[in-house]
A and B are shown apart, each in its own frame.
Chain A
């Protein structure tokens, strides 16, 4: 479910692109990186590191929190030549995915680049992700039961 960016949250745009980058996977981001006009210079502020996040649930969905189990997460932080910093926390163990997601997070914060990157990278990736989700939803909807009632006996006149 993409984050709603219509509210006044100052971080809304960044949250949205970070969620798209975390779902994108390595290959899509590698592609996008190849298509950049000039390879951006950056250093690793925190090299890619894989760890765990404990996923919490709630009793019956609404009650007290409990620890449902962990998931693997890889994080990375990069710094661009101009000093701006990008972060990424992505599900799974792919270090390159986390590094590229952090790099794009840094680049997207640059007002001079953000509009282009939104148009060329984030919007198309978001569309692919949305399409995949919609296809799943439509396949599920095809399995929805349409009950019909069998009427028995005489119709009272």
Chain B
């Protein structure tokens, strides 16, 4: 129960002015420009776009600035902003096989068509603090350029084993139905894979990382390989009603992870490799790997696997993955609960009195 309490207006106004001053920090230090956040803190922008479920780099950079670098707060700002805009429609499904590859690796095949392209990765860095970055470099850094781009043909790794029939084939259901949309319908169970993937794509990276990790440590039945991770630009196609044909809105950067899991077979399905899937805006590799692990764990029913662990329990995962919802419910504990607490205080005092009376009687007997 909440009670309207008056008298806070001036304090709130002043708190917001104080917030603005602290956000700006020392005025002798140059103010951040959005281009600096977009260009130099790009992975923060990527995470905010992914979990804010809205692709717009400058807007995400602004949210990061406004939130003083609190990414979950920035995600909340993006989610709130999107509710002010009309929906023009849905895109054609993006085709990640046609991606302009900036990174593409496979842990299952060394020599795969198109090869292993490392891209701008933290992998193989020593994770030692680079004090050279403490001062602006001044000189212009340029990456090495090869004579030509990577091979044009970059088949998805999961399609390589399909020809041997050892990889689960993943095809659209009959008539390729419109997918479930969490922005318009509440979470419902049992959830289709479309609903689960949308939920996971928006889900908190930390939550999904912990759940994915739990499946590796025995709280699930995953024995996975990163079949493929790819990152780069894909074209978004859209069919406006007034044109009636598909046009290109532009390109977006996405990361995709195909996780491959050994499956020993069941009555219905022969032994084969099964798949989990992760997709995120921008370069969010850890997020897509975690998402793919959890996606596979949530497919337990499809493979007749017992649902025994949190990562396999779709109600547990889908109800708790969204950090905007989660922080809303946790944060509401900060709101005035003065009357609630007074009621509980009275109750606890009475219980304590009863308890002491009972103890004295027991001692007297």
Contact = CB atoms under 8 A, between A and B. Distances in A.
Nearest to B120: A143
B88 A66 contact: no
A73 B249 contact: yes
B247 A22 contact: yes
B97 to A, nearest CB: 6
Contacts of B201: 57, 66, 68-69
Most buried by A among B97, B101, B116, B277: B277
Nearest to A3: B248
A128 B180 CA distance: 39
Given A53-B236, A71-B56, A138-B146, A23 B250 contact: yes
A45 to B, nearest CB: 10
A73 to B, nearest CB: 6
Contacts of B170: 59-60, 62-63
Interface stretch (B79-87, B132-140, B318-326, B350-358): B79-87
Contacts of A144: 115-118, 146, 150
Interface string B86-127: 111111111111101111000000110001111110000000
B226 to A, nearest CB: 14
Contacts of B111: 147
Nearest to A149: B110
Given A59-B170, A65-B178, A140-B101, A53 B150 contact: no
Contact of A69 (B59, B98, B281): B281
Contacts of A139: 143-146
Interface string B1-37: 0000000000000000000000000000000000000
B159 to A, nearest CB: 8
Interface string B225-256: 00000001101101010110111111110101
B86 A22 contact: no
A70 B53 contact: yes
Interface residues of B, number: 89
A55 B113 CA distance: 28
A133 B258 contact: no
Given A60-B170, A69-B50, A87-B243, A145 B115 contact: yes
Given A71-B252, A144-B150, A52 B247 contact: no
A147 B85 CA distance: 50
Most buried by A among B93, B159, B247: B247
A66 B55 contact: no
A51 B248 contact: no
Given A50-B85, A51-B88, A64 B54 contact: no
Interface residues of A, number: 56
Contact of A56 (B56, B88, B179, B202): B179
B172 interface: yes
A137 B110 contact: no
B194 A59 contact: yes
A89 B111 CA distance: 41
Contacts of B249: 22, 53, 71, 73, 89-91
Contacts of A73: 88, 238, 249
B156 interface: yes
What 7 A-B pairs are tightest by C-beta distance, nearest first? A137-B149, A91-B250, A141-B146, A63-B170, A71-B55, A19-B248, A142-B144
Interface of A: 1, 3, 9, 11, 15, 18-19, 22-23, 49-73, 75, 77, 87, 89-93, 133-145, 147
21 contacts: A22-B249, A23-B248, A52-B82, A54-B89, A54-B181, A56-B90, A58-B172, A59-B194, A61-B96, A61-B156, A62-B172, A65-B93, A68-B198, A69-B202, A90-B250, A91-B55, A91-B249, A91-B252, A139-B143, A144-B116, A145-B115
Interface of B: 49-50, 53-56, 58-59, 82, 85-98, 100-103, 110-111, 115-120, 143-150, 156, 158-159, 170-173, 176-183, 192-195, 197-198, 201-202, 232-233, 235-236, 238, 240, 242-243, 245-252, 254, 256, 258, 275, 277, 279, 281
